[in-house]
C-alpha cells in the first residue's frame, strides 16, 4: 500500500481532466483521502464479503442505468412537491444547501421511476437467459438464507453475465473502478457511523404511509430497503460532512491544492472562495 502522500495526489491524467474544472479538485482529493482511510481499516471476512456484494450490486445498477439512460425524467415540480410534502426530513440540513437537497430528492424520485422500466428489461433478460446459475454454500451461508438477498444475488449473476457478453467491463473500465472506490468509501463512512445513526421501523412505516403512490411497483421488502436507505442517508448527512472535514485537516488537503497552484498545475484564481477561505488567505 502506498503511503498517504503518494496515494492522496492527482495523477497526470486527473490534473489534465480537472485543470479546467478546478472546483472539483477538492472533492477528488477528499475522496482519495477517504479511500486511503478505508483501505487502512481492518475488516473481518464477513465485512469483506459484504463489501464485495455491495460493489457487485453497484456495478449491476450502473449497467442497468446505462441501458435505461434517457428513459426516465424527474421534473423540478416533482422535486418541489416532494420537498413540500416531506420538509421535516430535511430539517437538520442547512437550507442554503438547496442544491444538495434537490440532488438527494432527484436521486430518490429517479430511482422510483426507474423501477417500472427496470422491471420490463429484467423480465426480458431473465426470460432469454440460457445457462445454469448456482450459488456456492459459502454464498448462501453469507446471506444467512435470506430469500430476498439470495434472489438479488441470482439476479446480479445473470446481469454480470450480460455485462461480460457486451464487454462492458472493458468499455467502462475507468467508471467501474470509480464506482468500486465509491462503494468502499461509503462502506467505510457507514461503518464509522455504525451505532450512531438509527432508523426505526416506525419511521419507515410512516414514510411509506405518506408516500404510498411512489411504491406501487415495489414489493414490501424492496420498498422497506429503499425507504430505510433514504432515511439513513438523511440522518448521516451531517455526520458524513464531519468525517470529510477531519480528513481535510488530517491530510492537509488545502495545502496540497495550494501546492498544485504554485506549480502552475491548476489555477486557484478560478475557484470560488468562501468568506472563510478569503480570511484564511489574508
DSSP string of 81-136, one letter each residue: HHHHHTGGGGTTS-TT-HHHHHHHHHHHHHHHHHHHHHHHHHHHHHHH--S-----
In the block, which residue shows the cell 403512490? 213
DSSP state, 197?
B
Task: Give 254's contacts (C-beta < 8 A, 6+ positions apart).
Answer: 248
CB atoms within 10 A of CB 230: 20
Separation between Cα atoms, residue 209 and residue 31, nearest integer Å: 36
Residue 186: all three cell numbers together: 461509503
Query: Among 185, 265, 259, which residue's Cα sits nearest to residue 14?
Result: 265
Q: What is the pLDDT along the chain (282 residues), one digit of tens a residue?
A: 458 888 999 888 888 887 777 678 888 999 999 999 999 999 998 899 889 989 998 999 899 888 888 888 899 999 999 998 888 778 777 666 778 889 989 988 887 887 778 888 888 888 888 877 777 777 777 776 677 777 778 888 888 988 999 999 999 999 999 999 999 999 999 888 877 878 888 898 898 888 887 787 777 777 888 888 888 878 878 788 889 999 999 999 989 888 888 887 776 654 443 444 444 444
pTM greater than 0.75 (yes/no): no
In the block, which residue shows the cell 468502499? 184
Separation between Cα atoms, residue 201 and residue 260, nearest integer Å: 48
Residue 264: all three cell numbers together: 502552475
Separation between Cα atoms, residue 230 and residue 88, nearest integer Å: 14
In the block, which residue shows the cell 498545475? 265
Amino acid at each position: 500500500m502506498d503511503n498517504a502522500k503518494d496515494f492522496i495526489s492527482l495523477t497526470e491524467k486527473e490534473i489534465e481532466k480537472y485543470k479546467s474544472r478546478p472546483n472539483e479538485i477538492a472533492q477528488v482529493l477528499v475522496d482519495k483521502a477517504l479511500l486511503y482511510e478505508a483501505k487502512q481499516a481492518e475488516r473481518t471476512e464477513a465485512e469483506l464479503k459484504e463489501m464485495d456484494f455491495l460493489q457487485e450490486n453497484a456495478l449491476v445498477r450502473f449497467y442497468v442505468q446505462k441501458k435505461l439512460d434517457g428513459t426516465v425524467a424527474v421534473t423540478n415540480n416533482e422535486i418541489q412537491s416532494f420537498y413540500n410534502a416531506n420538509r421535516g426530513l430535511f430539517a437538520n440540513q442547512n437550507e442554503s444547501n438547496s442544491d444538495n437537497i434537490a440532488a438527494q430528492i432527484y436521486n430518490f424520485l429517479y430511482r422510483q421511476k426507474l423501477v417500472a422500466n427496470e422491471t420490463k428489461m429484467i423480465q426480458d433478460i431473465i426470460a432469454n437467459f440460457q445457462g445454469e446459475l448456482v450459488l456456492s454454500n459459502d454464498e448462501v451461508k453469507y446471506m444467512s438464507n435470506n430469500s430476498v438477498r439470495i434472489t438479488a444475488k441470482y439476479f446480479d449473476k445473470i446481469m454480470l453475465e450480460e455485462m461480460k457478453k457486451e464487454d462492458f467491463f472493458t468499455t467502462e473500465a475507468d467508471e467501474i473502478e470509480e464506482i468500486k472506490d465509491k462503494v468502499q468509501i461509503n462502506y467505510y463512512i457507514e461503518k464509522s457511523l455504525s451505532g450512531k445513526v438509527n432508523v426505526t421501523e416506525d419511521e419507515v412505516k410512516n414514510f411509506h404511509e405518506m408516500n404510498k403512490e411512489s411504491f406501487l411497483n415495489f414489493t414490501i421488502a424492496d420498498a422497506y430497503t429503499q425507504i430505510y436507505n433514504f432515511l439513513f442517508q438523511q440522518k448521516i448527512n451531517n455526520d458524513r460532512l464531519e468525517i470529510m472535514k477531519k480528513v481535510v485537516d488530517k491530510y492537509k488537503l488545502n495545502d496540497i491544492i495550494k501546492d498544485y497552484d504554485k506549480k502552475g498545475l491548476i489555477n486557484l484564481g478560478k475557484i470560488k472562495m468562501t468568506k472563510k477561505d478569503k480570511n484564511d488567505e489574508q
